[in-house]
Amino acid sequence: MTRRKKNEGGGRIGIMVSLAARNVKRHWVRSILASIGIIIGVIAIASLGMLGNSIGLLFTGFWADVGDALLITPHVAVSSGDPGDPRNILPTTLSERDIIEIEKAAGLGNRVIPMVRSTGELRFGNRVGYAMLIAVPGDDIPYLLDTEAGGYPRGAHPQIMIGTFLAEEYGIKAGNRVELDGTRARVAGIVAERGWGVDINPDYAVIVTQEWYERQYGTGAFNQVVIKVSDVEDIPAIKRSIDARLNRRKETVDILDSQEILEIFEQTMGAIQVLLLGIGAVSLFVASVSILNVMIISVTERTQEIGVLRSIGTHRNDVLLLFLIEAAVLGVVGSIIGGLLSSVVGWLISVQVATAFDELFGISAAFSILDLSILGYILFGMGFGIVASIVAGLYPAWKAARLDPIEALRYE
Amino acid sequence: MLFVNIAVRNLRRHWIRSMLSIIGIVIGVFAIASLGIMGNSINLLVANVITDVGDTLVITPHVAVSTDIAGDPRSIVEASLSPETVSRIERVSGGNEVIPVLQGTAELTLGDEGGDVRVIGMHVDDIPILLTIAEGQMLRQNRPGVLVGSFLANEFDIRAGSRIELDGEGVRVAGVLEERGFAADINPDFGIVVSDGYYGDRFGDSDAYAMVIIKVRDIGQIDAVKEAVDDQLNRREDTVDIFDSRDMLAMYEDFYDQITVFLLAIGGVSLIIAAINILNVMYISVTERTHEIGILRSIGTLRSEILRTFIYEAAVLGIAGSFVGGLFSAVGGYAISVYAIQAFTAGTTFGENITVFDATSVAYVVFAVSFGVGISILSGFYPAWIASKLTPIEALRHD
């Protein structure tokens, strides 16, 4: 008995779907136009989602993911607040006393790495030019940098490391001999690409050991100190401790927290994403208004037909369902076509943006378009399209279901 | 006028579908105008940050490798050019202003506040060529005094006539500079400008120039000067990098254009969907009113008059929607711009005291309204044309 009822139910839905499909086909021009709206809307929302995703990936590639570092530099009188603003990077130094205080504040278990930022003239073959020179105590280098080729320089030996873009430009390989400010040195290794980092930016630089630097240049005043914390939770406490030790009477150091910067970055990315999806949703909203419109017109036109259906015993709910299915058919067809097209459009937009970024910021876009999240955006767009269409069909369907059979039959 | 009245009457009769069509246009116009305004705000923001120096060559010691971005912190080097290099540049500059710039740092103290600041040293005669003062006086030869950048002056409330301490020694502030923004050559907003003599006495080597700026009087000459310097100094091996400030401007303009086109295009998408909606509704109208059209034609109404009636209908929808949308977007565009600028500049001082509304923003609203009206009329054309082509007899028979 139950089984039969269920079958009847299935058959009823089947009949309704074919009825709805027939109605959609009968007025094919308006159906196609309404679906085009949904198609464009789904493309807009999915492509903009993908675009936001690509922008995020581009920036992530540009940023070294350092979430566990504090950067301590001599206090700058006034700064713009942007950690990468070149106008606020000054070649000033920290005193020995400052470094000792910082070490005390950092506590045990957190690595304190003082660094020298300077400039050296690099000569290799017939190429010569100035490069950023970063001196780091030999033991600390492996904690900061990964190698792309070769190994790390040790102690006071005349060994250096070269940043990936510098090595690429000059064609330097691990094991080569170069001249740095007139002194011959062996390239121990090439530093792997790192992107923009809070702590150290080796991509265009020469890295030497602090020991060798001191022997070579006689001085070793540090420009900055990086603290690598073993537990990210400790960052606020260390910050407070440094502030208390060094900035009590007078501000002597600025403290930059990589965690904070990552958060700001994520916030910015999130805002861009919301903005783009919001803009995409607006088009889809307009498209659903279009469906609402077409469905209302349909209900008005077919008032008499509804009257006939009701008088031969069709239930209110069935009339409601019939119109909802019609709206859903428009939405499903539009969304599927839109989803298919958006994989193409989204890819084109992302490539366009990657090219623009490359031209502008010199970031090589190494992201893959076959990211799973892209499929996610397409499915999201399609889902949004279908739901918006069904929601748009609700009011007309409800209106149709509420019609009084007698009145409806009399309607012209 | 009669046909306009008929059109309005028809729209009123089916007021729900008319309203819904208008809503589509309202949203579309709103989207396009707001996004245009947002693009413009981004432009204003960037223009506020970047100084418009289009006639300058900046010559710096040759860097082994760098990105194309002026001032990329990853490739900052503190190398210098010798006086000999400067005189070689002067020799080929073709009579244009050659300005050697010294750059160092000093510790600024003001009571118990202070910190490190950038110090820029130039010949006193060169300073007015590059910088303007907001208050006080320019520096004069053999007179002590310094100029303070606008952000620095703001932060510490420094005025012309104030006394500050640089590296432990007191000096009088002759003037405060006007805000300059990010530039390809010098960035004094956060720093201090002094005469080259004073720089040499106090802050460092006055023979080691960080850069040489050439102000080219005739923009047409800029390439020739560039080539001459390149020829003079980079013949055997590269010793200097020559940066053309026009490149930075061109890059920025290109970027801005792309953003604006992109934003307008995605705003346009909603408007196109709205226009398709109008097309759809008008098309349905024509089908419904085939019989009515037959009657009109048989009592002598001309084809062109039928065409006009339907186009008027589309136009009324478009005009109503566009104007309402235009009004909304004036408010909404402002709100979106404020939100966007806050999001983009989170954590920095860049977005402060910026106006997001100017004549260009108004132009975007006007553009969006006309675009909305135009595309609505356009989408009315096809249904109107179909209506006008109906044969009277066939139309009368239709039910």
Window 180-219 of B: residues touching A by CB (8 A cutoff) are 182, 187, 189-191
Could you give the percent of chain A with pLDDT greater than 90?
A: 28
The Cα A78–Cα B349 span in angstroms is 11
Q: How many CB pairs under 8 A join A and B?
A: 232
Residue B21 has pLDDT above 70, yes or no: yes
Q: pLDDT-based confidence at B347, cuts 50/70/90? A: low
Q: What is the mean pLDDT of residues B192-206?
A: 89
For chain A, give percent helix, strand, coil, nearest 5: 60, 15, 25
Number of domains chain A contains: 2
**A100 and A54 in a common domain:** no
Range of the domain at A397: 11-63+263-410
pLDDT digits (tens, 9 = 90+) for B224-235: 999 999 999 888
B114 phi/psi in degrees, rounded to 5: 150, -160
**A90 and A40 in a common domain:** no
**A201 and A183 in a common domain:** yes
ipTM above 0.95, yes or no: no
Paired residues of B117 in beta bridges: B106
Closest by CA to A308, choosing from A324, A294, A290, A322, is: A322
Q: What is the mean pLDDT of residues B134-147?
A: 88
pLDDT digits (tens, 9 = 90+) for A149-198: 899 998 778 899 999 989 988 999 999 999 999 899 999 999 988 877 77
Q: Do B65 and A170 touch (CB under 8 A)?
A: yes
The Cα B325–Cα B33 span in angstroms is 9
The Cα A152–Cα A34 span in angstroms is 64
Q: pLDDT-based confidence at A346, cuts 50/70/90? A: confident
The Cα A196–Cα A173 span in angstroms is 23
Q: pLDDT-based confidence at A3, cuts 50/70/90? A: very low
**Token pair in block for residue B57:** 């060559």
Could you tell me which chain A residue has the CA closest to the CA of B79? Answer: A119
Please give the pLDDT value at position B375: 92
Q: pLDDT-based confidence at A366, cuts 50/70/90? A: low
The Cα A169–Cα B62 span in angstroms is 14
Identity of residue B166? L
The model carries a pTM of 0.76
Domain residue ranges in chain B? 2-50+250-397, 63-238
Could you tell me which chain A residue has the CA closest to the CA of B157? Answer: A78
Q: Does A292 lie at the interface with B, CB-CB under 8 angstroms?
A: yes
Could you tell me which chain A residue has the CA closest to the CA of B115? Answer: A77
**A307 and A353 in a common domain:** yes
A3 within a domain of the structure (yes/no): no
Please give the pLDDT value at position A5: 47
Paired residues of B98 in beta bridges: B214
Instruction: Return the top range by mean pLDDT from B58-72, B210-224, B245-259.
Output: B210-224
Q: pLDDT-based confidence at A321, cuts 50/70/90? A: very high
Q: Do B346 and A268 touch (CB under 8 A)?
A: yes
Q: End of a domain among A241, A257, A273?
A: A257
Site from A266, A293, A341, A350 to mutate, B interface, most B CB atoms within 10 angstroms: A293
Q: End of a domain among A222, A257, A292?
A: A257
**A241 and A297 in a common domain:** no
**A311 and A370 in a common domain:** yes
Average pLDDT, chain A: 84
Q: Do B346 and A40 touch (CB under 8 A)?
A: no
Closest by CA to B136, choosing from B153, B117, B116, is: B153
The Cα A244–Cα A204 span in angstroms is 35
pLDDT digits (tens, 9 = 90+) for B28-38: 999 888 888 88
B289 phi/psi in degrees, rounded to 5: -100, 20
Cross-chain CB nearest to A75 (options B115, B251, B350): B115
Q: Does A190 lie at the interface with B, CB-CB under 8 angstroms?
A: no
Identify all chain B residues contacting A48, using CB atoms and an 8 Å cutoff.
266
CA distance A160 to chain B (A): 16
Identity of residue B246? R
Identify all chain A residues contacting B346, using CB atoms and an 8 Å cutoff.
264, 267-268, 271
**A127 and A29 in a common domain:** no
**A284 and A385 in a common domain:** yes
**A205 and A304 in a common domain:** no
Q: Does B111 lie at the interface with A, CB-CB under 8 angstroms?
A: no
